[in-house]
Structure 1
């Protein structure tokens, strides 16, 4: 099922009518919604263009296939544009859109050049400043990171390379794997990996199974894999229950042992996670803890 995008909308004034000339300067960033787990979900692209006659325009292009999968808890829209219109591109011609004015310094600020210098800029480009700065707007969970102009296609051999490709990936990229087992060792890890690919807008090709998935295809695959995961979980729990019952009969069951981990190391990882220096996945990998156990240890350390 294709994503609905409106094609019959007509610009109503000079501020929303796109400039068709070739720009003399162009800059682009990817708008990302940052979750509590520090996952950066790509929700759109913002482009700034300047022209020889000193006119300029901003173009905001929502990634609708990704946006349509998100809850309002994660994404509440891009400020300053009417998301209900569902346009491919929103143009703001010769004026700065709300999304930029809300999170970048205006030209009249007394400390403007100090702010520009703080990110290594010697010219005034509000989008470039937003891309370079570490400062975050308190009004929402949106950030902007630098965009590549062209999509890339990469072949990966293992799970580690796959994760690295996803982290550096961009909407429209393509990852090629030899077979579906590269996604994970079980249905749960496969669901998790497909979910990340979907949130990054990365297409997936599996050579052995002849699978070719774009962002919209993930929507139909996820329920199937989640169903498989539930079946795996139910089977695992039944086997675990039988094992516990048998151990109790033999008087050998003592309950699950608390996983031992160095307290100072754990405190360091928790601190880095809370400061958003590392994502949840990296924290779990470093500690060897499950998500629920990791959050329980955070509460214990408070």
Structure 2
């Protein structure tokens, strides 16, 4: 059975491109496992579900190795788990097939290259931020501006039990962490 693994880093990102590529490869949409979270660790629900579901003779297909893991160690561990179950792994972008010794070798090389690319991007980003800070152009994230009187009256209504916390957050336009942090700032 062909199984497809799809991952995007955030809920806002769209997985349609990956899904279409897997359909073109012949993966039935009913056999997709989709995660919408960072690949920096392997604690992802759909990945765990897929690893528990696969059986000998199955083949896991992904659009790119960066979708299944962000670092070499995690990728090799996942592929090893699949191989122990008699499951093949195919990455479309890198044209990798782990059923051959050459494919296994290339998997290691491409995984290391993907990790290097990710680390290089993060390093350049940090360097750019440092330069911008030194030039006074980077100030970090700006605090969310809210109407103080609206916030205080909404919090008073919430404390009086007239509205729920969720409704209060909706009124002032804040997410829970920011809402409760602002309450602490209001009454230290």
Q: TM-score w.r.t. structure 1 length? A: 0.26
Q: Where is the strand percentage greater, Structure 1 or Structure 2?
A: 1
